[in-house]
Amino acid sequence: MESEADNDSLYESAQKNLLVFGSSFMPDVIVKTSGIYLYTASGKKIIDWTSGQMSCLVGHGHPEIVQTLAEHAASLDHLYSGMLSPPVIKLAEKLTSVLPDGLDKAVFLSTGGESNECAIRLAKLYTGNFEIVGLGASWHGVTSGANGAQYHAGRKGYGPSMPGMLMLPSPDSYRSIFRHKDGSYDWKTELDYGWSLVDKASIGSLAAVIMEPILSSGGIITLPKGYMAAMKEHCRKRNMLLIVDEAQTGLGRCGDLFAINYEGVVPDILTLSKTLGNGLPLSAVVTSNEIAKVAEERNFMFYTTHANDPLPASVGLKVLEIVLRDNLVARSKAMGEKLQAGLHHLMERYGCIGDVRGRGLMAGVEIVSNRETKAPAIEFGKKLSAKMMSLGLSASISARTTFSGCIRIAPPLTITDEELAMGLAIFEEALRSTEGSMPLY
């Protein structure tokens, strides 16, 4: 067993040699992962309630994925990008077979940002236009095109973003000022108003909308029922494409195999990442035969070193097999109901919880200092998240000032009833023992 001194020396080396790239490093150095658990250099065992970076869909070190990696690393790892291999062909065949008609052809890349960059480039070439519309709490990546359509964070300090980037308000049912007379959320008026502003700002070159089914980094903002269909109609009226980014929601996370299934909307382009590779760098762009045909005729180019690599594709194929074979979509839905019930129970007991939301095993707990005013409590939220970590539960808080503050929860779909109960118990203990939680009992 490692010691606290080992952890401290590793952390000191990290501080000396590693570039900080977005947030400060956590003090616990992770030396092992297994299933739903993280193990630190100092010997702590921590429940991973965020699946790494919201990615390890079937848990860390799944034996079948480990075996797949070993076999393909030894015999079929990396090829020239124009070469084909069975894992790539089979993954494309399997993936398109479980997607609705209209999502017919795929290319496999490395990261979510890369897949969104590819999707935006594809939309621009197909439409002949260049303006891209995103939602205000969006996160799509840090490459130029994806970051240009992203408004949650990462825009300031780097000079001009890509030209033609426009924004719609996020459908935040908890905080939106658009309300019916009875106080309920009027998302349709908000969306229509947003489009009236986009139409005024546009120079007449609208190409696509890019959106997440649940805006995760922006605070687990779930789309109201009917919202995606209404967005598709707005796109149709303007001859635009709809790009849906399912980096975190894909492959069962939200209680449907794909979040688009929830509403039955077929986007023109779908992007996948994170969950598809179970934490390995694998992403996908899937589009229609029509768009693929026109793109090929116009010499579409998105040629990268790791396009259609066989090793990550073999893992993606195995992940998809496990999800379907082990009925993990239904499991996500059932366990998600238990998770929501547990979180609502905590909301009944602690006044610092202003809202609980999500679908399936993807949940958000908004932390406030006053339920009536919905005033955010970002600093308290950070303390609460740190306390949870010290007690053995990793659940990150989105605490950027671009919105309030939300504990994000997305454990592996393989989580057991016992592990879920343990996580909820640690969450409650953190609330009980952190000053400012405003107990209601």
Residues of the chain under the 50 pLDDT cut = 1
Q: Is the same domain home to 314 and 384?
A: no
- Note the pLDDT of residue 124: 98
> Which of 252, 391, 387, 234 minimizes the C-alpha distance to 324?
252
Quote the CA–CA distance of 194 and 87 in Å, as a whole number: 43
- Note the pLDDT of residue 401: 52
- Give how far the C-alpha of residue 323 lies from the chain's centroid of Cα atoms, to the nearest Å: 18
Which H helix or E strand runs over 435?
none
Domain membership of residue 113 (yes or no) is yes
Domain membership of residue 55 (yes or no) is no
Q: Find all residues with CB under 8 Å of 97, minimum gap 6, and list them.
A: none
Quote the CA–CA distance of 30 and 36 in Å, as a whole number: 13
Domain membership of residue 424 (yes or no) is yes
Domain membership of residue 9 (yes or no) is no
Active-site residue set: 139, 212, 245, 248, 274, 408
Domain membership of residue 45 (yes or no) is no
Q: Is the same domain home to 296 and 317?
A: yes
- Whichever domain contains 171, its CATH number is 3.40.640.10
Q: Are 325 and 58 in contact (CB under 8 A)?
A: no
Q: Is the same domain home to 270 and 404?
A: no
Q: Are 313 and 87 in contact (CB under 8 A)?
A: yes
- Note the pLDDT of residue 2: 54
The domain boundary, picked from 277, 293, 325, lies at 325
Q: Are 436 and 425 in contact (CB under 8 A)?
A: no
- Note the pLDDT of residue 148: 84
Quote the CA–CA distance of 20 and 96 in Å, as a whole number: 38
Domain membership of residue 388 (yes or no) is yes
Q: Sign (positive/negative) of CA torsion 178, 182, 188, 193?
A: negative
Q: Is the same domain home to 270 and 344?
A: no
Quote the CA–CA distance of 109 and 441 in Å, as a whole number: 51
> What amino acid is encoded at 110 in this protein?
S
Domain membership of residue 91 (yes or no) is yes
| Residues facing residue 211 across a β-bridge | 244
The domain boundary, picked from 306, 325, 344, lies at 325
Q: Is the same domain home to 223 and 236?
A: yes
Q: What are the C-alpha distances in Å from 139 to residues 13, 134, 153, 216?
A: 31, 9, 7, 8
Q: Is the same domain home to 92 and 147?
A: yes
- Note the pLDDT of residue 350: 98
Quote the CA–CA distance of 261 and 259 in Å, as a whole number: 5
**Per-residue model confidence as pLDDT tens digits over 118-166:** 999 999 999 999 999 999 999 898 888 888 888 888 888 888 888 999 9
Q: Is the same domain home to 112 and 197?
A: yes
Q: Is the same domain home to 341 and 294?
A: no
Q: Is the same domain home to 301 and 345?
A: no
The stretches of 160-297 forming alpha helices (DSSP H) are 187-201, 227-237, 289-297
- Whichever domain contains 417, its CATH number is 3.90.1150.10
Q: Is the same domain home to 117 and 199?
A: yes
DSSP symbol at 105: E
> For residues 69-107, b (16+ Cβ closer than 10 Å) or e, as one string?
beebeeebeebeeeeebebbebbbebbbeebeeebbbbb
Q: Are 124 and 130 in contact (CB under 8 A)?
A: yes
Place of tokens 């993807």: 362
Number of domains observed in the structure of the chain: 2
Give 12: exposed, middle or buried? Use CB within 10 Å, 0-12, 13-18, 19+: exposed
* Strand 131-135 versus strand 206-211 pairing type: parallel
Q: Is the same domain home to 260 and 353?
A: no
Domain membership of residue 26 (yes or no) is no
The domain boundary, picked from 310, 325, 340, lies at 325
**Per-residue model confidence as pLDDT tens digits over 402-436:** 556 899 999 999 999 999 999 999 999 999 999 99
Q: Find all residues with CB under 8 Å of 31, minimum gap 6, and list them.
A: 2, 39, 40, 41
Q: Is 340 helix (H, G, I), strand (E, B) or coil?
A: helix
**Residue 358: domain span:** 327-441
The Cβ-side half-sphere exposure at 308, using a 13 Å CA radius, reads 18
Quote the CA–CA distance of 362 and 199 in Å, as a whole number: 34
Q: Is the same domain home to 149 and 221?
A: yes
